C-alpha cells in the first residue's frame, strides 16, 4: 500500500491505518542530510562529493530503494545544467562578453552611472532567465568590472548588481533548476513564468538599485 500511494502521488485525507513512514527513517535521513551539509560548511568535502556520498549512504541504508535510485534523479535538469554552463563559457571566450561590455559603455555614455547600473542589472536578469545562473555570473562579472572601469567608478556596486541579477531568474522555467523542477508537478506552462516573474523583476530592479547604491556607493 505504501508503494502504491507513493507511485500514484496520493496521500490519504483521513487516518486509515496506512503507515507512510517511520520516525526512525525520518531521523536517519535528516541526520545523513545534515551531516553532508556540515561536511560542506566545514570544508571537509566539496559540495558535489558530500551530497553524492549522502545519496549513496541513503541507498545503502535502505532509505532509497535501489530500484528507484535512477528514477529518482531528474535527468532533464542534470542535462540542462550541464549544457548551460559551457554556453556561458563560450560566450566569454569568443569575445561576446567584451562586446556586450562595449555596447553597455556606448549606451551608458549618455546616462548617469545609476542608470548604467540598472541596465547592467536588467541585462544580467535577462541572461539568467536563459542560461544557468552560475554561468550568467561567470559571464557578467568581468563585464561589470569593465563597465565600472570605463566609467571610472567603483566596481563593487556593479558586481553586486550582477550577483542580484544572477539570482533573479523568474521569467522562464529554464533559468534555474528550481523553476524546472516545479514545472511538471505544478502543471505550469512556459508563459506562466513571465506573467508572475515580470512584475517581480520590475519590483526587484526598483528596490535593488537604490539599495545597492546606498550600501556600495559609486
pLDDT value at position 24?
66
Per-residue model confidence (pLDDT) at position 35 = 92
Closest CA to 105 of 148, 68, 155: 148
Q: How far is CA 101 from CA 36, 59, 166, 180, in A?
A: 40, 48, 16, 30
Instruction: Give the single-character DSSP code of 68.
Output: G
Lookup: cell for 39: 561536511
Global confidence as pTM: 0.60
The list of the chain residues with pLDDT below 70 reads 11-24, 72, 74, 76-77, 80-81, 84-85, 87-88, 92, 97, 101, 108-109
Q: How far is CA 139 from the centre of its chain?
A: 15
Q: What is the pLDDT of residue 22?
A: 56
What is the model's pLDDT at position 204?
A: 92
Distance, CA of 22 to chain centre: 32
| pLDDT tens-place string over residues 190-208 | 788 888 888 999 999 999 9
| pLDDT value, residue 212 | 94
Query: Could you give the C-alpha distances from 93 to 43, 96, 98, 102, 147, in angstroms and in order?
Result: 31, 7, 9, 15, 18
CA distance linking residue 176 with residue 195, whole number of Å:
17
Q: Please tell me the predicted confidence (pLDDT) of residue 74.
A: 67
Q: pLDDT at position 46, please? A: 86
Residues 132 and 174: beta-carbon distance below 8 Å:
no
CA atoms of 169 and 184, how far apart (whole Å): 18
Cα 40 to Cα 49: distance, rounded to the nearest angstrom: 9
Q: How far is CA 191 from CA 142, 166, 187, in A?
A: 32, 21, 12
Q: Return the DSSP state at 130.
A: T
pLDDT attached to residue 13: 66
Residue with cell 507511485: 7
What lies within 8 Å, CB to CB, of 158 at 6+ separation is 117, 120, 144, 145, 147, 148
- Cβ atoms of 28 and 63 closer than 8 Å: yes
Amino acid at each position: 500500500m505504501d508503494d502504491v500511494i507513493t507511485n500514484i502521488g496520493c496521500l490519504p485525507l483521513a487516518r486509515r491505518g496506512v503507515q507512510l513512514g517511520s520516525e526512525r527513517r525520518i531521523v536517519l535521513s535528516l541526520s545523513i542530510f545534515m551531516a553532508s551539509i556540515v561536511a560542506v560548511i566545514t570544508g571537509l568535502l566539496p559540495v558535489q562529493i558530500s551530497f553524492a556520498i549522502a545519496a549513496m549512504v541513503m541507498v545503502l541504508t535502505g532509505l532509497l530503494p535501489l530500484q528507484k535510485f535512477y528514477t529518482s534523479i531528474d535527468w532533464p535538469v542534470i542535462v540542462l545544467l550541464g549544457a548551460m554552463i559551457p554556453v556561458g563559457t563560450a560566450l566569454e571566450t569568443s569575445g561576446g562578453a567584451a562586446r556586450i561590455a562595449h555596447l553597455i559603455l556606448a549606451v551608458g555614455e549618455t546616462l548617469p552611472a545609476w542608470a548604467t547600473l540598472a541596465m547592467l542589472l536588467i541585462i544580467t536578469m535577462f541572461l539568467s532567465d536563459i542560461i544557468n545562473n552560475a554561468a550568467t555570473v561567470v559571464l557578467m562579472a568581468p563585464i561589470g568590472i569593465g563597465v565600472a572601469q570605463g566609467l571610472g567608478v567603483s566596481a563593487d556596486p556593479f558586481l553586486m548588481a550582477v550577483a542580484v541579477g544572477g539570482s533573479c531568474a523568474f521569467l522562464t522555467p529554464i533559468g534555474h533548476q528550481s523553476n524546472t523542477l516545479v514545472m511538471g508537478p505544478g502543471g505550469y506552462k512556459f508563459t506562466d513564468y513571465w506573467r508572475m516573474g515580470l512584475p517581480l523583476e520590475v519590483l526587484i530592479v526598483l528596490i535593488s538599485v537604490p539599495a545597492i547604491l546606498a550600501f556600495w556607493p559609486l
